[in-house]
Structure 1
Amino acid sequence: MPSSDIPLPDKPQKVFDRDAEWQELVAFACDNRPEARLGVVNGRLRQGKTYLLETLTGALGGFYFGAQQATQAESLSHLADELARYTNASTPPHWHGWEDATDDLLALGDQRPTPIVLDEFPDLVRQSPSLPSILHSAYRRHDGGHPGQARLLLSGSSLPLMHRLFSTASPLHELSDLHLTLRPFDYRQAARFWGIDDPALALLVHAVVGGTPAYRHDYVQDDTPAGREDFDAWVCRTVLNPGKPQYREAYHLLQEEIDHKDRALCHSALSAVATGCSTQGRVADCLGAPLTDTARCLGLLREHGLLHSEADAFRPSLIRLRVAEPLLAFEHAVVRPHRSALAQQNAVAVWKQARPDFDSMVHQSHFAQICRDWALHFADPDTFGVRPRSAAHGSVADPTHPGSTDLAAEVVVRGHGDAGHGSLLSVGLARWDEVMDVEHLERLQDLLGILANRGEDTSRTRPACYSGAGFSPALRAVEAQGQVVLVDLDRLYGRR
């Protein structure tokens, strides 16, 4: 994007992190090309899109409008009122339709680059399906003789609709030159955001609320656990407290994302995945539903960004599922089975019953995903020889015991390459609550032997052990000899 003569404003201190996103937004908003530009900002609910865009328009003297679910006439009336306040007009403009409104919005950039935000744009399109075409026509008119410097930003939380609106088949696709997605904070950012220095506590909190910014301030009123010994009490006074918005957030999240006729099946599907049914077939068996209905439901959850799917690291035809939002996994694996008890007992008693389910979830899935994220995004390139391309769960059948449980590795790291998925950089085990010993390394060596017999090049593959409880002196001695990579909580969280 061309540089601007306008000094780019520094990110306000009140905005936590989001440095890269802020730089992209201000560069777009201050771009001094003599033509109207279009940008797109999307992301799931509660990620801070509105907060960031309001801050942007405030810093640059731009215009912000937050759409609501309303008729076209009501939306245009509210927009006209907001525009009159922004321009200090004595009366709101009278528009006959979106054509007039669009021309007036783009005219805000006649004198200088001006950010103009239409937040929750999908709510406007639902009532005015022709709006994308109207915007396209308006931009074409401006290109033909009315240059201007309007910097229109269209934002939305409905991922499926945003994807359709700006797909290659959309009239808006060719106009947009900024596509920005606000994602949840990663686990390290989340620890800093919550002000937690203890890696073990940070991981436990992340297993409950993930990296969604709204869940600290708006949903628990800045209540953070004072220490690891306060974690259980914190769960009881926040996510299990009917007086806190966090109590029903997982329900409302699905309520806002998914059409009502699909919600019951989606809740059940999320429960199945959160409790260990990691393939489509296993989910269908758990739900007792036809495979076609299950596939449609899982596809809907993926489309809304609530479910992720990825190929097994050793069997690419096997697609594994996981819940994308930790709060949804926590709700469906831990809290949902005890909802009726919460209506009759105090939270402390219910959490005592549910805590083993939570520990199991952290052990079986959440800790392993944190380890995969570390390997892919935070490990020094020297750790695995080169920068990884992927980190996934991998499993193979044990040829010495046909019909037995598959041999699995929770953190399989691959690089770029022509063979299979890419070069096999590392195979690792993740154990949240086990002190890992030489026997864990021996399991990895057995697995590497099986992979080598299957034709996998393991000559440069580094075995790795990830533990939330630490490592035995014997395994540390093997690490000193360069025969294994050991990753503890301090290393996961960048403390060493």
Structure 2
Amino acid sequence: MSPSDVSRPGKPETVFDREAEWDALVAFACDTRPGGGLGVVSGRLRQGKTYLLKALTAALGGFYFGAQQAAEGESLRRLGEELAQYTGTAPPSRWRGWEDAVEALLELGDQRPVPVVVDDFPDLVRQSPALPSIIHSAYRRLRDTGRDNRPRLLLSGSSLPVMHRLFSASSPLRELADLELTLGPLDFRQAARLWGIDEPGLALLVHAVVGGTPAYWRYVGNHGPSGPDDFDAWVCRTVLNPRTPLFLEAHHLLQEETDHWDRALCHSALAAIASGCSTPGEIAECLGAPLTDASRWLALLRENGLLYGESDAFRPNLIRLRIAEPLLAFEHAVVWPHRSALEQQEAIEVWRSVRPVFDSAVADPHFARICRDWVMDFADPAVFGAHPAMAAHGSLPDPARRAGPDAEAEVAEAEVVARGRADVCSGPLLSVGVARWDEVMDLHHLEHLRHLLALLAACGEDVTHARPACYSGVGFTPALRSAEADGHVVLVDLDRLYRGR
């Protein structure tokens, strides 16, 4: 539905960022044209969907109902009581079923456009599978009768598989949807502002632990480390502290997202990925499990948004699996192997021994991920000659590097490879870059990139316009800076990642 020119409330100061999401919701809710509107809001747990939707209904005088895992009768009773409180009328004597309840919700739009939110919608559908069809039938009747009724129903949920199924191309609800909004984590720059961190190195370390999930900021009392020297102590008093919510958050997150699966196998699969395994074969071998079994668990984790697949920039048929939520990566690389020790020893003692693991297994790959995000979301198109359509890790066998005459060729890698155009697997090569979190970069890094470009050219890749790029968390030597001044390499440091283009 296209928005109409009506007075719309500004975003409350209590809602951090989310300007685009707020504007989309308000435009949908304030559309004055006759007819029922249907919106879909989805996203993983802890991203602020409920907070945003409650703010919307408060600003526009709408109705909010938060579903629970309950029997159908209890859910209908609760909805009737809350609806009666909202309208100032007596609760309904007894609804015959969801047909009556949906009709009562749509009647809220008889006088004006009004947002009607049903949060955690998948919890209702699990107990009442016919509910989507009931909603579809109610909207069809509403449109067939031509009634001047303007409810703006928003269905929200965190169970991504259920939401995808309910609003897939074959679903009857999909044809009704006027708005489809996905709420994801804050990006790394937004997260730094939320946590009030001005120092880029500290911001990246905090993001490597808690990512861009807004709820975690509230979990630790709305403040982060006081400065770079406070990072280690902050980790110990928050995510490594058994008395704080963050200590078991990764466990609860996996428990809530994976429902009745074998969580032990899910934990082990995530631990394998956090240790450096990235393909189903590598993960299955690490677990000592058949590939078919491992593939099934990994598919479930991907379906629930806990993992994502990334095509190799040079070998598109090679898919690497990454952990989507930084806290899960931190948990399974750092905490999981030492949880019993954390429950018995001082956190600072355990952290002192595992800090090197954090730097190599968490901070270093996370830095490369942030560099890829910068290329896609913040780099000026002039930096690489065009706006990249993809940024990914790339790897290529190097025939010149073998451990022995009969050994397989070693692999030459680049953490940040940018390609143009929409056909990302074969789009023009814009840049090949290496990322080092804790290494001062020098000319030998540039030579590595030139060697990799030569390998690609020998494979038939057009490298004419590909720009070498070096990304460092600690800086570059004067010689490499000189090469940058001569136009031979793009250099990206932390300050540029967080403040520049």
Letter of the structure 1 residue corresponding to residue 288 of structure 2: G
Q: In the alignment, what sits opposite 1:336?
A: 336
3-state SS in 2 of match to 1:493: helix
The aligned runs of 1:14-413 (5 Å cut-off) are 14-145=14-145, 146-217=147-218, 219-402=219-402, 403-413=408-418
Single out whichever of 254-263 and 68-77 deviates more from structure 2.
254-263
1:432 aligns with 2:433: no
Letter of the structure 1 residue corresponding to residue 65 of structure 2: F
Contact in 2 for aligned 1:376/1:389 (Cα 8 Å): yes
Q: In the alignment, what sits opposite 2:419?
A: 414
3-state SS in 1 of match to 2:294: helix
Q: In the alignment, what sits opposite 2:494?
A: 489
Contact in 2 for aligned 1:363/1:431 (Cα 8 Å): no
- Please list the CA deviations of residues 330-350 of structure 1 after superposition, one character each: whole Å capped at 9, or x if unmatched: 000111010011121111111
Contact in 1 for aligned 2:83/2:91 (Cα 8 Å): no
Contact in 2 for aligned 1:393/1:409 (Cα 8 Å): yes
Single out whichever of 195-204 and 222-231 deviates more from structure 2.
222-231
Letter of the structure 2 residue corresponding to residue 432 of structure 1: W
In 1, the alpha carbon distance for the partners of 2:5 and 2:77 equals: 36
Q: In the alignment, what sits opposite 2:482?
A: 477
The structural deviation recorded for 1:8 is: 1.3
In 1, the alpha carbon distance for the partners of 2:425 and 2:410 equals: 24
- Please list the CA deviations of residues 61-115 of structure 1 after superposition, one character each: whole Å capped at 9, or x if unmatched: 0000000000000000000010011001134453110000111100000010000
Contact in 2 for aligned 1:113/1:151 (Cα 8 Å): yes
In 2, the alpha carbon distance for the partners of 1:152 and 1:447 equals: 53
Structure 1 unmatched runs, 5+: none
- Please list the CA deviations of residues 220-262 of structure 1 after superposition, one character each: whole Å capped at 9, or x if unmatched: 1224100000000000100011111111000000000113332
Contact in 2 for aligned 1:113/1:149 (Cα 8 Å): yes
3-state SS in 2 of match to 1:382: helix
Letter of the structure 2 residue corresponding to residue 298 of structure 1: L
1:461 aligns with 2:462: no
Contact in 2 for aligned 1:363/1:433 (Cα 8 Å): no
The structural deviation recorded for 1:495 is: 5.0
3-state SS in 2 of match to 1:116: strand
Contact in 2 for aligned 1:84/1:93 (Cα 8 Å): no
3-state SS in 1 of match to 2:65: strand
Q: In the alignment, what sits opposite 2:6?
A: 6
In 1, the alpha carbon distance for the partners of 2:91 and 2:185 equals: 41
In 2, the alpha carbon distance for the partners of 1:418 and 1:128 equals: 42
- Please list the CA deviations of residues 140-198 of structure 1 after superposition, one character each: whole Å capped at 9, or x if unmatched: 11011223000000000000000000111211111111000000001111000100000
Q: In the alignment, what sits opposite 2:405?
A: none
- Please list the CA deviations of residues 445-486 of structure 1 after superposition, one character each: whole Å capped at 9, or x if unmatched: 011011001100001000000000100000000100111000
In 1, the alpha carbon distance for the partners of 2:481 and 2:397 equals: 30
Single out whichever of 401-410 and 471-480 deviates more from structure 2.
401-410
The structural deviation recorded for 1:428 is: 0.2
Go from structure 1 to structure 2 and tell me whether the alpha carbon gap of 1:204 and 1:93 turns closer, same or farther (over 3 Å shift): farther
In 2, the alpha carbon distance for the partners of 1:429 and 1:375 equals: 13
Letter of the structure 2 residue corresponding to residue 157 of structure 1: S
- Please list the CA deviations of residues 104-150 of structure 1 after superposition, one character each: whole Å capped at 9, or x if unmatched: 10000001000000000000000000000000010011011223000
Letter of the structure 2 residue corresponding to residue 74 of structure 1: E
Letter of the structure 1 residue corresponding to residue 120 of structure 2: E
In 2, the alpha carbon distance for the partners of 1:66 and 1:78 equals: 10
The structural deviation recorded for 1:400 is: 1.1
Go from structure 1 to structure 2 and tell me whether the alpha carbon gap of 1:418 and 1:252 turns closer, same or farther (over 3 Å shift): closer
Letter of the structure 2 residue corresponding to residue 189 of structure 1: Q
Letter of the structure 2 residue corresponding to residue 214 of structure 1: A
Contact in 1 for aligned 2:99/2:134 (Cα 8 Å): yes
In 2, the alpha carbon distance for the partners of 1:57 and 1:40 equals: 15
- Please list the CA deviations of residues 309-351 of structure 1 after superposition, one character each: whole Å capped at 9, or x if unmatched: 0110001111111100000000001110100111211111111
- Please list the CA deviations of residues 282-326 of structure 1 after superposition, one character each: whole Å capped at 9, or x if unmatched: 001001000000000100000000001011000111111110000
In 2, the alpha carbon distance for the partners of 1:121 and 1:4 equals: 28
In 1, the alpha carbon distance for the partners of 2:278 and 2:495 equals: 29
> Number of matched residues?
495
3-state SS in 2 of match to 1:394: strand
TM-score by length of 1: 0.98
3-state SS in 2 of match to 1:397: strand
Go from structure 1 to structure 2 and tell me whether the alpha carbon gap of 1:417 and 1:350 turns closer, same or farther (over 3 Å shift): closer
Contact in 2 for aligned 1:187/1:210 (Cα 8 Å): yes
Considering only aligned residues, what root-mean-square deviation do their CA atoms show, in Å?
1.2
In 2, the alpha carbon distance for the partners of 1:374 and 1:182 equals: 20
Contact in 2 for aligned 1:469/1:488 (Cα 8 Å): yes
Q: Percent identity?
A: 67
In 2, the alpha carbon distance for the partners of 1:7 and 1:275 equals: 53
